[in-house]
Structure 1
Amino acid sequence: MSSPESEPTTVRVFVNERGVDVPRGASALDALRVADEGEAARVAAGERALVDSRGLPTAADAPTFAGAIYRTITAR
Structure 2
Amino acid sequence: MEIKVIRFRFKELLAEKEFQERRVVPLAEVAEQTGIHRATLSKIANSPGYNTGTDVLDRLCIYFKCRIEQLVEHIP
Q: TM-score, normalised by structure 2?
A: 0.29
Higher relative contact order (CA 8 A, sep 6+): 2
More strand by share: 1
TM-score (norm. length: structure 1): 0.29
- Higher helix residue share: 2
